[in-house]
Structure 1
Amino acid sequence: MMHVEVWGGAGEHGRSCYWIGNTRSSIMLDCGVKREGIGEYPLLDAAKVAALDAVFLSHAHEDHSIAIPLLYKLGYTGVVWTTRVTAEQLPGYYSSWGNNVRQQGGELPYDETHLAAVKYAFIEDAVPAQQWFTISPELRVCWGRSGHMLGSIWFMIELEGKQLFYSGDYSEDSIVLGTDTPRLIELSSALDGAILDAAYSTDTEEQESKLESLFIEADRVLAANGQLLLPVPVCGRGQELLLLMEQRYPNTPIRVEQELIEAMKLMLQHSSWLKVGMAARLAEALSSSRSAIISTDDDRERLLQEDIACSRAAIWITTDGMMQSVKAQWYYDMLRNHNNNGILITGHAAKGTTAHRLLALPDEDRGCRIRAIRYKIHQGLPDVRRMVQSMRSNFKLLVHAPKRDTDELLRQLQKEGEQDLLSLGPGARIVL
Structure 2
Amino acid sequence: MQNNRIAVTSLGGSGEEARNCFLLEAGNHTVLLDCGVRREALGEFDRVYPALTREIAGRLTAVFLSHAHEDHVAALPYLYELGYRGNVYGTEETIRLAGGFMKKWADFVTSAGGRLPFSVETMNRVAFSTISLGSQVVEGLSVTAGRSGHMLGSCWLRFEHGGKSLLYTGDMTLAGRLLATDLPPESDGAVVDCAYAGRTLSQTGQYGALVDLAEEVAAGGGKLLLPVPPNGRGSDILLHLCENLRGVPVYAEANVAALCGELLKERKWLRADVCGRISGAGEESNGAGLPCGRIDAVALPGRQIDAVALPGGRVGAVALLCGWIDAVALPCGQIDAMNRANTFTNAISIPDVQSRSLALSAPGPAVYLTGDGMMSGPAAAAYFEALKGDARNCILITGHTARSALGSRIFDPAFRAQAGLAARAERLTIKVHLDDQDVIALNRSVRAKKILLFHAPLESTRELTGKLRNLGVDARCGLEPRALEL
Normalised TM-score (structure 1): 0.90
The answer as to whether partners of 1:10 and 1:426 remain within 8 angstroms in 2 is: no
Q: Confirm whether residue 425 of structure 1 aligns to residue 428 of structure 2.
A: no
**Deviation of residue 269 (structure 1)?**
3.8
Equivalences for 1:271-282 in 2 at 5 Å? 271-279=267-275, 281=278
The answer as to whether partners of 2:26 and 2:161 remain within 8 angstroms in 1 is: no
More helix by share: 1
Q: Report the Cα distance in structure 2 between the residues aligned to 1:10 and 1:46, rounded to whole angstroms.
A: 22
Deviation string, structure 1 residues 49-80 (Cα, Å, up to 9, x no partner): 12111110000111111111222111111111
**Deviation of residue 160 (structure 1)?**
5.2
Q: Confirm whether residue 212 of structure 1 aligns to residue 214 of structure 2.
A: no
Q: State the aligned residue count.
A: 415
More strand by share: 2
Deviation string, structure 1 residues 249-285 (Cα, Å, up to 9, x no partner): 2321111111112212321342211112535537645
**Deviation of residue 224 (structure 1)?**
1.2
**Deviation of residue 244 (structure 1)?**
1.0
Partner of residue 258, structure 2: 262
**Deviation of residue 7 (structure 1)?**
0.5
The answer as to whether partners of 2:258 and 2:286 remain within 8 angstroms in 1 is: no
Equivalences for 1:19-418 in 2 at 5 Å? 19-21=23-25, 24-38=28-42, 40-124=48-132, 128-129=133-134, 132-137=135-140, 139-159=141-161, 161-184=163-186, 188=187, 191=188, 193-279=189-275, 281=278, 284=285, 286=287, 287-288=296-297, 290-304=346-360, 306-307=361-362, 310=363, 312-361=364-413, 365=417, 366-415=421-470, 417-418=471-472
Instruction: State the superposition RMSD in angstroms.
Output: 2.2
**Deviation of residue 330 (structure 1)?**
2.3
The answer as to whether partners of 2:225 and 2:395 remain within 8 angstroms in 1 is: yes
**Deviation of residue 3 (structure 1)?**
3.2
Instruction: Give the secondary-structure state (helix, strand or coil) at the position aligned to 2:153.
Output: coil
**Deviation of residue 161 (structure 1)?**
4.9
Q: Report the Cα distance in structure 2 between the residues aligned to 1:285 and 1:245, rounded to whole angstroms.
A: 15
The answer as to whether partners of 2:224 and 2:396 remain within 8 angstroms in 1 is: yes
Deviation string, structure 1 residues 156-213 (Cα, Å, up to 9, x no partner): 01245542110111112111111111122xxx5xx1x210111101211210111122
Instruction: Give the secondary-structure state (helix, strand or coil) at the position aligned to 1:36.
Output: helix
The answer as to whether partners of 1:18 and 1:29 remain within 8 angstroms in 2 is: yes
Q: Percent identity?
A: 34
Instruction: Give the secondary-structure state (helix, strand or coil) at the position aligned to 1:278.
Output: helix
Instruction: Give the secondary-structure state (helix, strand or coil) at the position aligned to 1:92.
Output: helix
Q: Report the Cα distance in structure 1 between the residues aligned to 2:371 and 2:240, rounded to whole angstroms.
A: 17
Say if 1:285 and 1:430 are closer, same or farther in 2 by CA, change over 3 A.
closer
The answer as to whether partners of 1:339 and 1:369 remain within 8 angstroms in 2 is: yes
**Farther-moved stretch of structure 1 (146-155 vs 327-336):** 327-336
Structure whose alpha-carbon radius of gyration is higher: 2
Normalised TM-score (structure 2): 0.80
Q: Report the Cα distance in structure 1 between the residues aligned to 2:349 and 2:449, rounded to whole angstroms.
A: 51
Q: Report the Cα distance in structure 1 between the residues aligned to 2:369 and 2:485, rounded to whole angstroms.
A: 46
Q: Report the Cα distance in structure 2 between the residues aligned to 1:135 and 1:410, rounded to whole angstroms.
A: 33
Provide structure 2 residue ranges, at least 5 long, that are not aligned to the other structure: 288-295, 298-326, 328-345
Instruction: Give the secondary-structure state (helix, strand or coil) at the position aligned to 2:152.
Output: coil
Q: Report the Cα distance in structure 2 between the residues aligned to 1:407 and 1:325, rounded to whole angstroms.
A: 35
